């Protein structure tokens, strides 16, 4: 079984400040890891993913995340927050399985709502 | 390429009714998954379809069902609606090695 823990249901930062959203996972085998963002009344948009290779992954809108196996973490960062970053962010994990096995279900964390203060 | 589309975007039903939601995946994507999002329970997996077959199911009662057609479009059905079924229902499609799922805008279901 796999699980995802996101520390902090609400995070508030000032515009221009560093954004750090925390995600820890639990999985019996190395998983694939994702960060999604959700704006009000919209679906989920993929920010970035870790599948294999380089442990520091870059995504859209200036976000990046680092996979740390020893810490079972996949924290999301952005050097300088912008007002448009205000949204809810979800960390998700899934098993490394072939597409037709029916085991692509994402397990999500509970989400972190990011507020950006002017 | 067009993204994942879901219809309708909003629905209001009363308890005891049934509802059908539709999802059209990204062209070429053969895997479709459904998720329920509520403030209390967060995002929960409902079921996953691949090549018209349900391959995986989450922990939901049998009132929740779905199907996938030969063109990969999918529908989910909820019978005998309860107040607790009020939620945002999200569909996601997937293709390729890395389980990357692309989400639609969701259908907001309100049960009165």
Residue partners of A9: CB distance under 8 A and separation at least 6: A110, A111, A112, A113
Q: Residue A21: which of A4, A41, A6 has the closest Cα?
A: A6
> Closest Cα of chain B to A52: distance in Å?
9
Q: For A105, which of B33, B42, B95 is closest by C-beta distance?
A: B33
DSSP state of A93: E
Helix (H) or strand (E) holding A117: strand A112-117
- The tens digit of pLDDT for each residue in A70-116 reads 999 999 999 999 999 999 999 999 877 665 565 678 999 999 999 99
- The tens digit of pLDDT for each residue in B29-75 reads 988 999 999 999 999 999 999 889 998 899 999 999 999 999 999 99
Contact list in B for residue A36 (CB cut-off 8 A) is 103
Whole-number Å distance between alpha carbons of A2 and B41: 17
Q: For B42, which of A95, A101, A110 is closest by C-beta distance?
A: A110
Yes or no: say if B57 and B66 are a contact pair by the CB < 8 Å rule: no
Contact list in A for residue B33 (CB cut-off 8 A) is 104-106
> Closest Cα of chain A to B15: distance in Å?
24
Whole-number Å distance between alpha carbons of B102 and B93: 5
Whole-number Å distance between alpha carbons of B6 and A117: 33
Write down the pLDDT at residue B34: 97
Write down the pLDDT at residue A19: 98
Under an 8 A CB cutoff, do B51 and A100 touch?
A: yes
Yes or no: say if A21 and A89 are a contact pair by the CB < 8 Å rule: yes
- Give the 3-state secondary structure of residue A84: helix
Backbone angles phi, psi at B20, to 5 degrees: -125, 130
Contact list in B for residue A99 (CB cut-off 8 A) is 30-31, 50, 94-97, 99
* Cross-strand pairs, B30: none
Contact list in A for residue B90 (CB cut-off 8 A) is 43-44
> Closest Cα of chain B to A104: distance in Å?
6
Write down the pLDDT at residue A68: 93
Yes or no: say if A104 and A49 are a contact pair by the CB < 8 Å rule: no
Under an 8 A CB cutoff, do A104 and B99 touch?
A: yes
Backbone angles phi, psi at A98, to 5 degrees: -60, 155
Whole-number Å distance between alpha carbons of A7 and A85: 18
**Sorting pLDDT into bands at 50, 70 and 90, what band is A9?**
very high
Whole-number Å distance between alpha carbons of A4 and A25: 4
- State how far Cα B51 lies from the chain centre: 16
- The tens digit of pLDDT for each residue in A48-71 reads 999 888 889 999 999 999 999 999
């Amino acid at each position: 079984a796999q699980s995802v823990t996101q520390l902090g249901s609400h995070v508030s930062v000032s515009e221009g400040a560093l954004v750090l959203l925390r995600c820890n996972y639990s999985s019996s085998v190395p998983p694939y890891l994702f960060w999604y963002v959700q704006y009000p009344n919209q679906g989920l948009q993929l920010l970035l993913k870790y599948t294999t290779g380089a442990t520091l992954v870059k995504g859209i809108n200036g976000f990046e995340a680092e996979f740390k196996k020893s810490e079972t973490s996949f924290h999301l960062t952005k050097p300088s927050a912008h007002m448009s970053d205000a949204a809810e962010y979800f960390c998700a994990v899934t098993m490394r399985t072939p597409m037709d096995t029916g085991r692509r279900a994402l397990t999500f964390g509970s989400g972190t709502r990011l507020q950006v203060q002017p | 390429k067009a993204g994942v589309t879901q219809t309708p975007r909003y629905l209001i039903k009363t308890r005891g009714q049934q509802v059908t939601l539709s999802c059209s995946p990204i062209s070429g994507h053969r895997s479709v998954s459904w998720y329920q999002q509520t403030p209390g329970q967060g995002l929960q997996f409902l079921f996953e379809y691949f090549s018209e077959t349900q391959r995986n199911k989450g922990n939901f009662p049998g009132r929740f069902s779905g199907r996938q057609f030969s063109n990969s479009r999918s529908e989910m059905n909820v019978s005998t609606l309860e107040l607790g079924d009020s939620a945002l229902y999200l569909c996601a499609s997937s293709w390729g090695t890395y389980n990357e799922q692309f989400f639609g805008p969701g259908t907001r279901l309100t049960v009165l």
